[in-house]
Amino acid sequence: MSGIGPIEPGEGTHAWDTHPAAPPAGTPAAPSTPPPRLRRLLADHRRAALAALLTVGLLTLCAVLYATRPQEREPAISRPPFPAQVVDVTYLGEHSVPPGTRPHTFAFEVLLSVDSGPPVTVTRVSQPYAGASLTSAPRAPFRTEAGSARTIVITMHVAECGSVPENAGLPFIDVTLRNTRAIQQQSFILGPRYAQDLSRALEVACSNESP
């Protein structure tokens, strides 16, 4: 029987190389595994990032605790009061002038008291009228201790009647005060009784007689 059969490999022939079949379309590719050295680098990087994050968080917490800590207040250093805050001047009444005093002169008494703080020195006593002059006994400057008071005799002489008011409405005297805190000039309004006595004294001083 004749025919053509399969060709058998003979001398000088070899089999074709075979390759693994490709996966069907749509099949996900298997994840590639990084080499060991890269894995170590990634692990070291994660540890370093975590350590840095923890350090930042700790520093932030310390800053918040420091900012919100209870503040220790330093004791306030007490300063002496201003002299005008602790001095009071009160009108006592008219005072007789000694015999032989020049005409158109009258006097009155005031009480100066110091409530607290260091001693207060009176360096000047004055009044607002240009036509009159004023002196005090004791003469300025004089000092008054805290918790005490002293009587001051104010003597006023009218030299020019046209420069003084006929009726003093709210008369005052100016007193310059000094202590270890400051020097101040304070105007003291002595009240209605002083206004009445001053108006009457000015009227008598500026009567028809020439000064």
For residue range 8-60, what is the model confidence (pLDDT) as tens digits?
555 554 454 545 555 565 555 555 666 777 777 677 777 777 777 778 777 78
Cis omega (within 30 of 0) for bond into 75? no
Give the residue from 167, 171, 174, 169 showing the smallest Cα distance to 199.
Answer: 167
122-141 residue pLDDT tens = 999 998 888 899 999 999 99
Asked if 132 and 99 touch (Cβ cutoff 8 Å), the reply is: no
Read off φ and ψ for residue 122, nearest 5 degrees: -90, 115
Higher pLDDT, 11 or 176: 176
Residues 168, 200: Cα–Cα separation, whole Å: 9
Q: In whole angstroms, how large is the CA radius of gyration of the chain?
A: 54
pLDDT of residue 99: 82
Distance (Å, rounded) from C-alpha 137 to C-alpha 125? 10
Compute the average pLDDT of residues 131-155. 94
Rounded distance between C-alpha atoms, residue 124 and residue 142, angstroms:
9
- How far is Cα 99 from Cα 104, in angstroms, rounded to an integer? 13
Which are the contacts of 107, defined by CB distance < 8 A and separation ≥ 6? Answer: 94, 95, 96, 97, 153, 154, 155, 156
Q: What is the mean pLDDT of the chain?
A: 81
The three-state secondary structure class of 195 is helix
